Chain A
């Protein structure tokens, strides 16, 4: 059974940094691309970033490009999202999602339960 467990969320002041982690189990991580998707309170889904199986292809939404960095450690079965220069509009539930293949073009076949990031002074 695929399991994705996010961690690292919390309350952070504007301009500060936070690092999210996603622990993957139940499948071979290095066979699949992975993504971060977020959902602001009461709002829709927003794709944040995706990374191919070998980190050779990485993409970011325009809203986070230059501030967020996605990475993965296949040996540790883990996905990460380094978030810098956080803004109030980054407040959201952040989901880790498994891609259906090795490139990062979707679909998102499995999702974690999310970790909440709140940016506020």
Chain B
């Protein structure tokens, strides 16, 4: 079982705002990073650190953290944002990395 917990399914109406969450004790000490994966493709990093976007990632993607919960927010979701989203951070020992179970985002 993963030390990072995500809701497996999330939905959002086109153009609306959605928050995808990731819970785990290690998130009190370490930032999460977030990855988008579309069917048949490799994952893509969308958010890392406090709230950093790699080059080429739209600014509608943002990250935040509070206590043991990290969040990925998509403001004005687009059809192309429909994908699986995974959070990642260190585990509670701090020595290994772990992924959340993933959240499937459906854009209605």
Contacts and interface: CB of A to CB of B under 8 A. Distances in A.
A111 B54 CA distance: 14
B14 interface: no
Nearest to B103: A44
Contacts of A121: none
Given A62-B96, A100-B48, A106-B97, 18 more contacts: A44-B2, A44-B86, A44-B102, A45-B37, A45-B99, A46-B99, A47-B88, A47-B99, A50-B97, A59-B97, A60-B96, A95-B42, A95-B43, A104-B97, A105-B97, A108-B35, A109-B48, A113-B42
B98 interface: yes
Nearest to A45: B99
Contacts of A114: 42
Interface of B: 2, 33, 35, 37, 42-45, 48-49, 54, 84, 86, 88-90, 95-102
Given A45-B43, A111-B43, A61 B96 contact: yes
